[in-house]
């Protein structure tokens, strides 16, 4: 019975495969794209200092070369991306410690990805379109940046692509060794970056597409094995961190993303009216599904529509939209001629209720983002936007493919297998990511980049075939297919964006190393006081700073208490200054000494106000500090405290001590409940030489 159900499910998907044969000229073009991709990745590879989280990897690599373990200055064992860390250590051992050597493994991985994606694309694309896909990977701006960054994101993309190549080889050859290779690849990918687990659903694609019960069971077993490996690796990684529990820093309020939701409290009369409207819409839903020819389909469609109504009334519009979509597709597929009109009336009522909700919420203070947050609920929809930002053209094409596949299913026609890939490899992982975070940087959605690009090109290839078939005397357009492939590739890349990241230097990267070099030129002594906004970068370049200057909402995630009651960053062991009062105390206690603040060129979209918090942001732009250095990026500054502007204030000092004690007490309580922190080994002395010298 289950086997028959799987076979009927496979009937909803049509297998597609290219028919053109690959020729030698295609491989020469591929070699040219690989070479061009290597040029743009190695061009300027070591021309800028470390940025982002590269220095965390670099400090771990530095200790690997000492005793083989990735230990950070605080004594913390750094557990992330161990495979990449040891590759970086091998590179540094061969070429010496430099930005170029630290980034070399990422650059080589980025070059290998170009050839690998061509192998993956053979499953869906003809050679011309597959070459366009390889060219896109060679010049896509985000992949160029990832390949020039000593972090694990290019390894994440490559691990997913390698697993896809193995899955498609298993589908084609039916050799179980390829499934084993795909499983091992994903497990190694999870070590490189935990988000590699998002590719786990694609292991079941061959069984679903072909209606093969044996392959479906084998793929499901492999998926379970990968999921268990993820739980083990992720649990071990998290066990290395002294992460405070959720109640840590509770007096700071909820994280900023939780406050993006507008209030939803309405007067009782409005609530009663809205729920009464929901009852009316429920009757319309029941009226619509009564016209279905299948009783099972009517029950399924009606349940989905009613669930959508409840979710909409509870302000979970994302889930409500998915429920409505499922109900409408089933109703349209199994309905009679009366169903479309009834569904139209139902959808108009649903849209009216949504308009009423939006109107009521718009009357409360807040931005459009908060309005959307209030109506969308969890899971968030912003990850959809972030994955599309990686390649807007590819995101639009993949969205069109998903919509077209649902339309085909509603019309009792099979969707294509690339639609199933879009569901398993793009929509499902991004949907799941929205359950854990309201908003994320685009790089956290890169586990779906390769499936998205492949689906976009497959859909564009099929659409081009249909358009050319509609043109009379199409034989007069022999170059139509290759022109279309080239245009889609150019749109997916975004030539302007690609040109902006090739050897971009400090136009797009912060100048942490320039600030460190300037500080060394000042002949810093132990009598001077150094505060750094980016403590990791400056600890790497200078060996040690005295304080980490950061706002409380960022500090809350990266601090621990010390035996003497202090609060320090758990990566470097640097004491934390998180409030204006704590900063004032440092200034007052060190009058007569030189006090410097090494700023950061990162997080500058709002001039670091969000990162610093309102108190520190106001203090750093006040007359108490003067700028003595501007980095090559035009953003990184070094500030010096103006002695005459430092005014002693006992009340301020008292408040600073209270802030510090409160942070220390909460951190100590958090550590008692969490895993004991590793021994604080202290920071390196300031006499540590510049690793670039």
Burial class (CB in 10 A: 0-12, 13-18, 19+), 681: middle
Give Cα separations from 424 to 5, 203, 448, 597 (angstroms): 19, 9, 10, 48
For residue 690, is it within any domain? no
What pLDDT, on a 0 to 100 scale, did the predictor assign at position 108? Answer: 97
Percent of the chain with pLDDT over 90: 62
Helical (H) or strand (E) element with 515 = helix 512-521
Instruction: State how far the alpha carbon of 389 is from the alpha carbons of 404, 537, 587, in Å.
Output: 21, 28, 43
- Write the DSSP symbol of residue 249: T
Residue entry with tokens 């010049």: 139
Q: 5-19, 267-281, 340-354, 506-520: which range is least confident on average?
A: 5-19
- Among the candidates 420, 438, 458, a domain finishes at 458
Same domain, 232 and 258: no
Confidence at 688, pLDDT banded by 50, 70, 90? very low
pLDDT at residue 193 is higher than 60: yes
Residues 429 and 541 in one domain: no
Looking at residue 226, its pLDDT comes to 96
What pLDDT score was predicted for residue 517? 95
State how far the Cα of 153 lies from the Cα of 146, in Å rounded to an integer: 6
139 is a domain residue: yes
Distance (Å, whole) CA 422 – CA 399: 9
Q: Where are the beta strands (DSSP E) in 545-586?
A: 547-549, 559-561, 567-569, 576-577
**In the predicted model, what is the mean pLDDT of residues 356-379?**
75
Q: What percent of the chain has pLDDT over 70?
A: 86
Distances 171 to 174, 179, 188, 192, 414 between C-alpha atoms, Å:
6, 9, 21, 26, 20
Q: How many CB atoms lie within 10 A of CB 3?
A: 12
Domain boundary among 394, 423, 458: 458
Other Cβ atoms closer than 10 A to 287: 13
Q: Are residues 267 and 219 in the same domain?
A: no
Say if residue 414's pLDDT is above 80. Answer: yes
pLDDT of residue 21: 79
Q: Specify whether the CB–CB gap between 48 and 509 falls below 8 A.
A: yes
Taking residues 522-538, what's their average pLDDT?
93
Distance CA 74, CA 445 (A): 31
Q: What is the pLDDT of residue 677?
A: 41
pLDDT tens column, 137-166: 999 999 999 999 999 999 999 999 999 999
What pLDDT, in 10s, does the model give residues 114-138? 999 999 999 999 999 999 999 999 9
Span 239-262, average pLDDT: 55
Taking Cα atoms as reference points, which of 164, 166, 169 lies closest to residue 202? Answer: 164
Residue 573 has pLDDT above 70, yes or no: yes
Between residues 379 and 663, the one the model is more confident about: 379
Interval 389-408 mean pLDDT: 96
Q: Rounded to whole angstroms, how far apart are CA atoms 344 and 675?
A: 56
Written as six digits, the tokens of 594 are 């030189």
**Contact partners, residue 568, CB within 8 Å, separation at least 6:** 74, 548, 559, 560, 561, 562, 574, 575, 576, 680
* Same domain, yes or no: 186 and 233: yes
- Using only C-alpha atoms, what is the Rg of the chain? 28
331, 376: one domain? yes
Apex CA 115: angle with CA 23 and CA 392, to 5°? 105
Backbone angles phi, psi at 504, to 5 degrees: -75, -25
Which structural domain, as residue segments, surrounds residue 551? 512-673
What is the pLDDT averaged over residues 535-561?
90
What integer best gives the mean pLDDT of the chain? 86
Cα 506 from Cα 484, distance rounded (Å): 36
| Predicted confidence (pLDDT) per residue in 44-92, tens digit | 999 999 998 999 999 999 999 999 999 999 999 999 999 999 999 999 9
pLDDT top residue among 663 and 541 = 541
Pairing of strands 567-569, 559-561: antiparallel
User: Going by C-beta distance under 8 Å and a sequence separation of 6 or more, which residues neighbour residue 152?
Assistant: 80, 81, 84, 192, 193
Residue 81 DSSP class = T
The beta strand positions in 101-234, using DSSP E, are none
Q: How big is the chain, counted in residues?
A: 693
When pLDDT is averaged across residues 430-456 and rounded to a whole number, the result is 92
Q: In this structure, are residues 121 and 108 in contact, taking their beta carbons and an 8 Å threshold? A: no
Same domain, yes or no: 185 and 315 = no
Least confident of 289-298, 582-591, 665-674: 665-674
440-444, 582-586, 676-680: which has the minimum mean pLDDT? 676-680
- What would the mean pLDDT of 25-47 be, rounded to a whole number? 95
Same domain, 235 and 294: no
The yes-or-no verdict on residue 614 having pLDDT over 70 is: yes
Check pLDDT > 80 for residue 680: no
pLDDT reported for residue 242: 83
CA distances from 76 to 63, 69, 418, 564 (A): 11, 10, 44, 18
| 235 and 276, same domain (yes or no) | no
Query: Domain for residue 498, yes or no?
Result: no
Is 567 part of a structural domain of the chain? yes
pLDDT level of residue 2 (50, 70, 90 thresholds): confident
The verdict on 291 and 357 lying in the same domain is: yes
Q: Are residues 415 and 346 in the same domain?
A: yes
Residues 6+ apart with CB under 8 A from 121: 129, 130, 133, 134, 454, 457
Residue 419 lies in a domain: yes
Same domain, 186 and 114: yes
pLDDT at residue 684 is higher than 90: no
Give the pLDDT mean for 380-402. 95
Query: Which of 477-486, 578-587, 672-681 is predicted most confidently?
Result: 578-587
Confidence band (pLDDT; 50, 70, 90) for 433? very high
Q: Is the pLDDT of residue 476 over 60?
A: no
| Boundary residue ending a domain (206, 239, 272) | 239
Supply the pLDDT for residue 367. Answer: 63
Name beta bridge partners: 172.
Answer: none
Q: How many CA atoms lie within 13 A of 547 on its CB side?
A: 24
The pLDDT, as a whole number, for residue 681 is 37
Q: What is the pLDDT of residue 259?
A: 44
The pTM assigned to this predicted structure is: 0.88
pLDDT over 80 (residue 113): yes
d(CA 320, CA 309): 7
Check residues 640 and 675 and name the one with the higher pLDDT: 640
> What local confidence, expressed as pLDDT, does residue 658 receive?
57
The pLDDT-based confidence of 683 (bands split at 50, 70, 90) is very low
If asked whether residues 231 and 260 sit together in one domain, one would say no
Q: Of 207-216, 383-392, 554-563, where does mean pLDDT reach its minimum?
A: 554-563
Which of 437 and 692 is assigned the larger pLDDT? 437
| Nearest-angstrom CA–CA distance, 485 and 488 | 5
pLDDT of residue 3: 73
CA–CA distance, 397 with 645 (Å, rounded to integer): 58
Number of domains observed in the structure of the chain:
3
Torsion region of 75: left, alpha or beta (phi above 0 gives left; psi -120 to 50 gives alpha): left
Evaluate the omega torsion of the peptide bond into residue 640 and state whether it is cis, within 30 degrees of 0: no
> Scanning the structure block, which residue is given the tokens 């589908």?
171
Joined together, the tokens standing for residue 208 give 């679903």
φ, ψ of residue 403 in degrees (nearest 5): -65, -45
Asked if pLDDT for residue 646 goes beyond 90, the answer is no
From residue 307, how far is each of 3, 291, 301, 320, 324 by CA, in Å?
30, 19, 10, 7, 8
The DSSP annotation for 256-324 comes to GGGGGSPP----HHHHHHHHHHHHHHHHHHHHHHTTBS-HHHHHHHHHHHHHHHHHHHTT-HHHHHHHH
Distance from CA of residue 55 to its chain's centroid?
20
Cα dihedral 516/517/518/519 (nearest 10): 50
CA geometry: angle 452, 39, 387, nearest 5 deg: 20
DSSP classification of residue 562 = -
pLDDT of residue 531: 95
CA-nearest of 530, 418, 514 to 463 is 418
The sign of the CA dihedral 686, 690, 691, 693 is negative
pLDDT at 622 over 50: yes
Q: With respect to residue 74, please indicate whether it lies within any of the assigned structural domains.
A: yes
């Amino acid at each position: 019975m289950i086997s028959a159900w799987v076979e009927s499910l496979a009937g909803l998907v049509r297998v597609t495969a290219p028919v053109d044969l690959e020729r030698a000229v295609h491989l020469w073009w591929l070699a040219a794209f690989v070479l061009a991709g290597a040029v743009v990745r190695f061009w300027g590879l070591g021309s800028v200092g470390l940025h982002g989280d590269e220095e965390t990897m670099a400090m771990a690599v530095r200790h690997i070369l000492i005793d083989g373990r990735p230990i950070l200055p605080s004594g913390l064992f750094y557990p992330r991306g161990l495979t990449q860390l040891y590759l970086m250590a091998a590179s540094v051992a061969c070429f010496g410690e430099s930005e170029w050597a630290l980034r070399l493994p990422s650059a080589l991985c980025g070059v290998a990805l170009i050839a690998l994606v061509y192998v993956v694309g053979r499953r869906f694309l003809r050679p011309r379109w597959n070459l366009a896909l390889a060219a896109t990977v060679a010049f896509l701006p985000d992949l160029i940046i990832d390949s020039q960054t000593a972090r694990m994101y290019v390894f994440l993309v490559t691990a997913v692509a390698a697993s896809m190549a193995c899955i498609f080889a298993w589908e084609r050859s039916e050799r179980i060794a390829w499934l084993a290779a795909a499983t091992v690849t994903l497990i190694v990918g999870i070590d490189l970056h935990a988000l590699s687990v998002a590719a786990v659903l694609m292991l079941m694609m061959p069984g679903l597409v072909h209606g093969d019960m044996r392959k479906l069971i084998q793929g499901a077993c492999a998926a379970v094995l990968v999921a268990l490996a993820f739980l083990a690796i992720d649990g071990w990684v998290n066990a290395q961190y002294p992460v405070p529990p959720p109640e840590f820093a509770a007096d700071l309020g909820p994280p900023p993303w939780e406050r993006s939701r507008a209030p939803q409290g309405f007067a009782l009369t409005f609530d009663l009216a809205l729920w009464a409207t929901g009852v009316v819409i429920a009757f319309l839903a029941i009226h619509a599904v009564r016209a279905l020819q299948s009783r099972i389909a009517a029950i399924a469609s009606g349940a989905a529509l009613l669930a959508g109504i409840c979710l909409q009334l509870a302000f979970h519009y994302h889930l409500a939209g998915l429920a409505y979509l499922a109900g409408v597709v089933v109703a349209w597929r199994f309905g009679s001629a009366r169903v479309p009109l009834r569904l139209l009336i139902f959808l108009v009522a649903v849209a009216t209720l949504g308009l009423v909700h939006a109107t009521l919420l718009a009357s409360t203070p807040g931005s459009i983002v908060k309005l959307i947050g209030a109506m969308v609920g969890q899971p968030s929809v912003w990850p959809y936007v972030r994955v599309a930002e990686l390649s807007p053209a590819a995101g639009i094409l993949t969205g069109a493919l998903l919509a077209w596949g649902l339309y085909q299913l509603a019309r009792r026609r099979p969707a294509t297998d690339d639609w199933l890939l879009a569901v398993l490899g793009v929509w499902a992982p991004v949907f799941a990511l929205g359950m854990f975070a309201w908003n994320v940087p685009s790089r956290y959605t890169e586990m779906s980049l390769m499936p998205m690009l492949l689906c976009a090109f497959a859909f564009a290839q099929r659409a081009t075939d249909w358009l050319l078939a509609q043109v009379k005397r199409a034989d007069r357009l022999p170059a139509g297919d290759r022109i279309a492939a080239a245009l889609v590739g150019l749109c997916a890349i975004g030539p302007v964006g690609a040109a902006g990241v090739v050897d971009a230097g400090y136009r797009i990267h912060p100048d942490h190393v320039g600030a460190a070099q300037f500080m060394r030129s000042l002949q810093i002594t132990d009598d001077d006081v150094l505060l750094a906004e980016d403590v990791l970068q400056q600890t790497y370049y200078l060996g040690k700073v005295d304080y980490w200057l950061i706002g409380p909402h960022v500090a809350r995630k990266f601090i621990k208490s010390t035996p003497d009651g202090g609060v320090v960053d758990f990566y470097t062991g640097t004491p934390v200054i998180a409030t204006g009062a704590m900063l004032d105390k440092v200034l007052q206690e060190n009058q007569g000494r030189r006090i410097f603040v090494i700023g950061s060129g990162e997080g500058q979209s709002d001039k670091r106000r969000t990162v610093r918090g309102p108190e520190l942001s106001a203090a750093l732009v006040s007359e108490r500090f003067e700028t003595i250095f501007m980095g090559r990026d035009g953003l990184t500054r070094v500030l010096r405290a103006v002695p005459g502007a430092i005014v002693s204030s006992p009340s301020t000092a008292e408040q600073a001590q209270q802030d510090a004690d409160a942070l220390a007490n909460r951190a100590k309580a958090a550590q008692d409940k969490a895993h004991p922190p590793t021994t604080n080994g202290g920071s390196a002395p300031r006499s540590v030489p510049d690793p670039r010298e």
